[in-house]
Chain A
Amino acid sequence: MEYTVDGKTVPADEEGYIINLSDWSPELAEVIAKSEDIEMDEERWEVVNFLRDYYDEYQIAPAVRVLIKALKKSMGPEKGNNKYMYELFPYGPAKQACKIAGLPKPTGCV
């Protein structure tokens, strides 16, 4: 699989996760989101940026449970809960949001 951003081709695996993490850009995120039928807005960017920061610091994408616990702490209980996350990313916050954030599939996520 591959994505096209500004005429440039970005390789991805068969599930749509990009191969080279350094290929990521906000423009690419919009393209990946579109292929997932997701429209990026401020709330979704908040989650995607959080995931990128987490990966930067710890070199892993967090499990959903950890993501939600951390968002609860940083953004409050109205955003740090399962329902809100699945509204933003219907096919799973860790899976879909990580894909858009250009991170590898979360450990333990099948």
Chain B
Amino acid sequence: MSDVKKFLYVNRKAPYGTIYALESLEVVLIGAAFEQDVALAFLDDGVFQLTKSQETDGIGVKNFSPTFRALGDYDVTRLYVERESLEERGLTEDDLQEIMYEDEDDDWAEKPSIRVISRAEMADVMAEQDVILSF
């Protein structure tokens, strides 16, 4: 396709309590079918979306965090997480689940999708995009 645009989905809200996080993920999965260049960003409370060992039985909603691990199958292989947002919430990269993708151009080697970057680097990532969708 000649007309590939760079899309960034920005996630700023906690995974449960509002529908934003789940809706964002669904839009990403639908949008991935259009073969655009798609990446995700997680900042503010959005970093909680990627935490491991989520347990939602008590609040009666589906735990959709395993779905992030399917993103590699949809060629979504860049999940940018803002380091300052993690630190402000007492989290480190070790609190996030492991999300891998298989690199087709490198003999299907497994590589991590999550990239923890600084606030300044996040600004650079945003500046490179054609389309930014905020959730």
Could you tell me which A residues sit within 8 Å of B by CB distance?
54, 57-60, 62-63, 65-66, 69-70, 107-108
Contacts and interface: CB of A to CB of B under 8 A. Distances in A.
Contacts of A58: 66-67, 69-70
B29 interface: yes
Contacts of A108: 26, 29-30, 33
A107 B73 contact: no
Interface residues of B, number: 14
Interface of B: 26, 29-30, 32-33, 62-64, 66-67, 69-70, 73-74
A59 B62 contact: yes
Contacts of A63: 29, 32-33, 74
Contacts of A70: 73
Contacts of B32: 63
Contact of B29 (A54, A57, A60): A60
A59 B63 contact: yes
Contacts of A60: 29, 67, 70
Nearest to B72: A66
Nearest to A106: B29
B67 A59 contact: yes
- Max chain A CB contacts within 10 Å: which of B32, B63, B69, B73? B73
